[in-house]
């Protein structure tokens, strides 16, 4: 049953990649326009970005056609002027440039309830204490810390059990699973009188077939793997006697070479709706057109886009804080006191915050064994403190100071970590997190379904024009361990 599920998951992943390629080709004309727009801003679109934009364009177009009860025609997807006019201004605004995209991995979905995918690496071969099917590298747990798993891709076998003590037996014999054994590579682990003999105190072979150690002696046939051990005191009841490590000749026993299976795991995400309605009077529209040359209908799209974008940013950033403060997160960083000690200069005291952030990044790695903090989201006091470190590790974002910020914004970088200022966090709180480069290494996923949709503007008898807008996408924490948080005091 497990194998069938794995095959289905792998098949679904292959189908997903093929679908992405087809969508990129289908929407190539609009994608080229979006890409050109980004190049003018000094930005580029990765294939991952293109796949997400293409999927969202397809989702929005399907909804556009359905809502207008028009037949879906392949050739109209890239030529429908009304659709392109609506989507082109908002795709760049909502998908690749959200502040949330600096925190979450983006994976577009093709239905309101869909799957995002993670990758596990599992053992295909039993080797030492690693059994076939054991996770070697987990999407959420990182590499296994067990010695046998760490040595899996080598000619070393670790943790192979050769007996269990019962408090009275003193002799143990059998055959090693892998052979021929390389002489001089054996360590045998056992427990007697509550003392475990391992590492430097383990029994070892002398390279000539004899085994010796504290309380034990024996022999080993390197070619056949046959061993015999005799203890002068019985190993403790319920404790294992094992080959802690030994090496074998992989050219003669190719079945002992570790194998790995890639398993694609699906996490279900449910899309949320972000709706907004804009009303304006006909008289106001005429006045703004005459006096300022502004079309209120066009401005409504801009305002709606900003408001939807703001709501998505808030949901993602709040989820990041929720993850960082949960019991499943990496260890918290603790409180940093800004106030300098006696004889300590203020600037050097503030510089100490970098050590706390590095501690947070290390806590994430200790928790996941696969990631370290590369993004910081902080409240206004925290970010103001970082400004003092300009030219000492902190570099302000180019746009800061030229355009007034509204809501969360990219504040700059600190030692190559992206810093986001979120005025809606507690002023003294900050989150350190890892943002992966794809959904296979995600702590938090933002899964857009329909990035933005606008209904036709309708003018009522009340001389009011109404227009509705919405976005739809899922937000889900995948790995709490990729988040931690800290606080500052005395600023």
Residue 40: helix, strand or coil by DSSP?
helix
Distance between CA atoms of residues 197 and 244, nearest Å = 10
- How many residues are there in the chain? 491
Asked if pLDDT for residue 61 goes beyond 80, the answer is no
Determine the 3-state secondary structure of 341 from DSSP: coil
Is residue 464 scored above 80 in pLDDT?
A: yes
Q: Distance from first CA to last CA of the chain, Å, rounded? A: 58
Interval 250-269: pLDDT, tens: 999 999 999 998 888 788 89
Specify the pTM.
Answer: 0.75
Paired with 241 in beta bridges are 163
How, if at all, do strands 409-414 and 417-421 pair? antiparallel
Burial label, 157 (beta-carbon count in 10 A; 0-12, 13-18, 19+): buried
pLDDT at 2: 39
DSSP β-ladder status, 240-247 and 187-192: antiparallel
Q: What is the pLDDT, as a whole number, of residue 76?
A: 46
Handedness of CA 60, 62, 67, 69 (dihedral sign): positive
Highest averaged pLDDT of the listed ranges 42-51, 99-108, 138-147, 333-342: 333-342
Q: Is the pLDDT of residue 5 over 50?
A: no
Q: Cite the residue boundaries of each domain of the chain with CATH code 3.90.1690.
A: 2-112+271-489
CA 13 to chain centre: 17
Interval 270-323: pLDDT, tens: 999 999 998 877 776 676 666 666 666 677 777 888 888 889 999 999 999 999
Cα distance between residue 118 and residue 142, in whole Å: 12
The top-scoring range by mean pLDDT among 51-65, 301-315, 359-373, 398-412 is 359-373
* CATH fold label, 2-112+271-489: phage-related protein like fold (3.90.1690)
Q: Are strands 429-433 and 458-459 parallel, antiparallel or unpaired?
A: unpaired
60 to 64, 146, 297, 449, 454: CA distances (angstroms) = 6, 48, 20, 8, 10
Model confidence pLDDT, tens digit, residues 388-430:
988 888 999 866 555 556 689 899 999 999 999 999 999 999 9
Kindly report the backbone phi and psi dihedral angles of residue 306, in degrees, each rounded to the nearest multiple of 5, phi listed first: -65, -40
In 165-247, which ranges are E strands? 171-175, 187-192, 195-197, 203-205, 210-213, 216-220, 226-231, 240-247
Q: Over the Cα atoms of the chain, what is R_g? A: 30
Rounded to 5 degrees, φ, ψ at 23 are -65, -40
pLDDT of amino acid 74: 45
CA atoms of 480 and 475, how far apart (whole Å) = 14
Task: Tell me the DSSP string of 294-354.
Answer: --HHHHHHHHHHHHHHHHHHHHHHHHHHHHHTSTTSSPP-EEEE-S--TT--HHHHHHTHH
Neighbours of 122 (CB within 10 A): 19
The confidence score (pLDDT) of residue 279 equals 85
pLDDT tens track for 169-200: 999 999 999 999 999 999 999 999 999 999 99
């Amino acid at each position: 049953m497990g194998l069938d599920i794995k095959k289905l998951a792998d098949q679904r992943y292959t189908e997903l990649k093929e679908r992405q390629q087809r969508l990129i080709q289908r929407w190539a004309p609009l994608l080229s326009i979006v890409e050109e727009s980004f190049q003018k801003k000094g930005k580029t679109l990765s294939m991952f970005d293109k796949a997400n934009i293409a999927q969202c364009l397809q989702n929005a177009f399907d909804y556009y056609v359905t809502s207008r009860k028009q037949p879906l025609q392949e050739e109209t997807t890239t030529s429908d002027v009304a659709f392109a006019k609506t989507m082109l201004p908002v795709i760049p605004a909502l998908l690749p440039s959200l502040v949330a995209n600096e925190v979450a991995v983006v994976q577009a979905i093709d239905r309101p309830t869909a799957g995002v995918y993670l990758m596990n690496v599992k053992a295909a071969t039993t080797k030492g204490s690693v059994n076939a099917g054991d996770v070697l590298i987990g999407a959420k747990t990182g590499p296994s810390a067990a010695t046998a798993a760490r040595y899996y891709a080598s000619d070393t076998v670790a943790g192979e059990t050769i007996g269990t003590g019962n408090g009275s037996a003193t002799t143990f014999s059998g055959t090693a699973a892998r052979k021929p054994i390389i002489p001089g590579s054996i360590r045998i682990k056992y427990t007697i009188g509550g003392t475990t003999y391992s590492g430097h105190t383990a029994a070892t072979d002398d390279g000539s077939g004899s085994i010796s150690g504290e309380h034990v002696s024996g022999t080993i046939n390197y070619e056949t793997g046959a061993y015999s051990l005799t203890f002068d005191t019985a190993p403790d009841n319920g404790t294992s006697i094992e080959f802690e490590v030994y090496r074998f000749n992989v050219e003669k026993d190719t079945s002992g070479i570790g194998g790995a299976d890639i398993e694609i795991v699906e996490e279900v995400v449910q899309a949320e709706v972000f709706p907004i309605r804009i009303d304006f009077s006909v008289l106001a529209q005429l006045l703004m057109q005459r006096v300022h040359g502004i079309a209120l209908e066009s401005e409504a799209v801009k305002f709606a886009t900003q408001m939807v974008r703001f709501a998505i940013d808030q949901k993602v950033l709040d989820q990041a804080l929720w993850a960082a403060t949960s019991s499943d997160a990496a260890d918290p960083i603790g409180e940093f006191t800004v106030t300098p000690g006696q004889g300590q200069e203020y600037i050097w005291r503030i510089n100490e915050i970098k050590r706390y952030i590095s501690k947070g990044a290390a806590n994430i790695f200790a928790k996941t064994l696969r990631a370290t903090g590369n993004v910081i989201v902080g409240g206004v006091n925290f970010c103001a403190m970082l400004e003092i470190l300009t030219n000492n590790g902190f570099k302000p974002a180019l746009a800061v100071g030229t355009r007034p910020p509204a809501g969360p914004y990219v504040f700059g970088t600190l030692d190559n970590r992206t810093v986001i200022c979120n005025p809606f966090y507690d002023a003294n709180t900050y989150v350190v997190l890892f943002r992966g480069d794809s959904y296979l290494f995600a702590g938090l996923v933002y899964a857009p379904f329909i990035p933005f949709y606008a209904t036709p503007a309708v003018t009522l008898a009340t001389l009011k024009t109404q227009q509705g807008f919405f976005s739809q996408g899922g937000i889900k924490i995948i790995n709490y361990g990729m988040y931690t948080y800290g606080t500052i005091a005395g600023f």
